[in-house]
Chains A and B, each alone.
Chain A
Amino acid sequence: MRSFLTILMMIGFVALASGYGTGCRQSTKVDVDDDEEGVEHSGPYAADAKEVTAYIVKEVKRQKLIENFKADYKEPPIVALITPTNNTRFPEITEYFQEDLLTALNEVFTRDQMRFVIRESEVLSEVEREKIEKEAGEYTDRTGRRTKLGADYFLRAKFTSLSVTDGETSDDTVKYSYEFIDTETSELIFKSSRDIRRVSDTNAVYR
């Protein structure tokens, strides 16, 4: 009889343990660059934004934008960040990226080297508006004091994704492209992109 009760207790324990999950959990602090930890998916990770942001900062330095501009105008250039275009299937990534880029640029460059403003519209219409407003003197007050920063460059990012699935695997390649545009001449100063591909096995049991 004792062995029978033991068997029953073991069965009950196994049933309850498997039915009620893993018990208490505690969150763990993980580096944002660590994309091995956490939920696995094929969408953009924080590490991707960090990687692209670092690349843009490096590219700005490599192009010697600040040195060239200062040589001509004796002042630091003013860069306007345009709201990125999102052609991926992932909402909200533009906000994260924009915030990340703006923070990174401000951490790398001092106000004597480069200054930043934000514009929330299309590049071409913004170039046009920037010119009109500069010509109309809308960026200075009556005393000649600058009240609104007129941008010298636009930095615009565009995210495009190739997303494919066979019903079991999600395969997303996100192209993070970005360009520097001269607001006076509309000249494309430089343009570059980074492709990041992520593949994830979605659980086949899920319908």
Chain B
Amino acid sequence: MMLRNPLILVLLAVLSLGAGCSSVYDARQAMIEGGYQKVMTDTRDINQFPDRDKTLILNFRAHAKMGLGYWKSARDDYLRSWNTMNLSEGGNVSDAQIFSERMKFWMGDPYERAFNSWYLGMLYYMMGDRENSIACFKNALYVDTGDLKIGEYAADWLPTFIMRIRAFLARGDESGAKMMLDELLRLPKEPANFDPNCPWFNLDAQKDANTVMMLELGVGPYFTAEGHHNSVRVINQGEYRESYVEVLVNGESLGRAYKIGDTFFQAITRGGRVMDDILKGKAIAKTATIAVGASAMAVGGVLYRSGNKTAGAITAGIGAALLIAGLLANASADTRGNVLLPGETHLMLAKLPEGDHLVELRFFDARGSEMADLRQRNIPLHVPAKGDAVLLARSRPQYAQPRSMDEAKADPYPPPAKAPAK
């Protein structure tokens, strides 16, 4: 009986450690309950979240702000998380190797890092900062590239290629644009990744256009932990019906947009994760350690009851230590991920007259039936005399489009209005 009380205490401590590791903000549920507004409100105080999750939370908050049209504030959050995802060393790595993978600071998979740089670049570009956008698009390609010398993956997510081409042309750097196009044309024509029939993969078409629309469809992948001690991280495809989008400007159809990016394809076509090997080792060690620990405790108990109290206590103590080590060695794979990303990215390139236009988006399923509830009308689009008009829109949940740069720069958390003095 005397042995049981301290054991209960230790087990409670172990459980509390485990509970602390699994506390991740459920952005998917928040989106169901209150959309981007709820995510933005819930994540206002970033310090309420554990350090290990802050970069992920910042990505959620940035996405929510962008979805609500607060571009500047979203850009600030994306930049803050960009710094962590690209320039920091992370943290809690040794803890993650011993205890739970979720204890390490979240930095994102390559495709999540690419999306972070991509959105940051889009926000810079849409707000007129071409030079910083070019840097972001370059980084999106960089983080999407492995060791090319040993035949690892090369960057193949086209949205960054296209926007880098647009930015080069806006700068007047035609050779830079051509270099990117040549690189794009060398990629394998994999329909799961992009539509090889897209007619805008040539310099003339790119130079002729003054309007670029990046249209996002569906929801991106999410992770689950499965297998022995949940040590295998499985990448699941998000479920959505929309398959393509038709674009109308001022009531006239420009035709279908072309798929240029598939997030699930990007998520599953990467080099192996080193952490997976560690997790496999941990799963095996965990089982063995728990078994040995339990046996040692049983032997210790027998020794204790048979009169060898000191030897019994030490053996039971070692057994308890092994058991605790086994329980603490959480082999569960880290299932944290940016669940707000879209499933696909489609491109519409056009040449429109300078001035204000109204865009309409019609989304269709794979059988060609329009999903009428997703139709978006009267999206404002201003085509400048010089440079690109850019539209970043999404099927569901829809992105709000700021009507002016003042709106785009507005504070998403304005101070409450003071009551009039009586």
Contact = CB atoms under 8 A, between A and B. Distances in A.
The 9 closest A-B pairs by CB, nearest first: A7-B317, A89-B139, A166-B147, A4-B313, A207-B273, A41-B87, A91-B132, A86-B131, A89-B138
Interface stretch (A9-17, A60-68, A108-116): A9-17
A1 B309 CA distance: 8
Contacts of A166: 146-147, 149-150
B278 to A, nearest CB: 7
A85 B121 CA distance: 15
B89 interface: yes
Contacts of A16: 13
Given A3-B317, A86-B132, A90-B139, A206 B107 contact: yes
Interface stretch (B93-101, B196-204, B284-292, B354-362): B93-101
A19 B145 CA distance: 34
Interface of A: 1, 3-5, 7-8, 11-12, 15-16, 18-19, 21, 39-41, 43, 83-94, 122, 161, 163, 165-167, 202-207
A19 B17 contact: yes
Contacts of A90: 135, 139
B274 interface: yes
Contacts of A12: 10, 13
B interface bracket (residues with beta carbon within 8 Å of A): 35 or more
Interface stretch (B212-220, B320-328, B391-399): B320-328
Contact of B97 (A5, A86, A205): A205
B81 to A, nearest CB: 12
B286 to A, nearest CB: 15
B48 interface: no
Contact of A91 (B82, B88, B317): B82
B132 A167 contact: no
Contact of B134 (A21, A86, A203): A86
14 contacts: A1-B309, A3-B310, A3-B317, A4-B316, A5-B6, A15-B324, A19-B103, A86-B134, A88-B135, A90-B135, A92-B79, A167-B146, A167-B271, A206-B107
